[in-house]
């Protein structure tokens, strides 16, 4: 099933549990949801106000509306 996930964060959210940091994915690209796997690095260079689609291989395509 294909889904469109609207997220505008380009980095993870740090949650501290018992003195240990856990990183939660905020970009929607992590393969290890809900945890960050570094996939947010693919969002480097995105322009604010534009919409992008990411394929399974991580390539990015700008969407025209």
| Domain layout of the chain by residue ranges | 13-63
The pair of structure tokens assigned to 51 is: 């919409």
Question: If you write DSSP's letter for every residue of 21-41 in order, what string do you get?
Answer: EEEE--SS--TTTTB--SGGG
pTM over 0.85: no
Q: How far apart are CA 6 and CA 52, in angstroms?
A: 10
Residue 58: what pLDDT? 83
Bridge partners of 53, per DSSP, are 61
> Cis peptide before 31, with omega less than 30 degrees from 0?
no
Q: Which long-range contacts (CB under 8 A, 24 or more apart) does 44-50 make?
A: 44/10, 46/10
Q: What is the tens place of the pLDDT at every residue in 8-52? A: 888 999 999 999 999 999 998 999 999 999 999 999 999 988 889
């Amino acid at each position: 099933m294909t889904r469109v996930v609207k997220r505008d964060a380009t980095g993870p959210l740090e949650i501290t549990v018992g003195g240990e940091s856990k990183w939660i994915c905020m970009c929607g690209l992590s393969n290890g949801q809900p945890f960050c796997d570094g996939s947010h690095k693919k969002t480097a260079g995105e322009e604010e106000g534009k919409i992008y689609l990411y394929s399974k291989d991580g390539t990015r395509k700008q969407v025209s509306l």
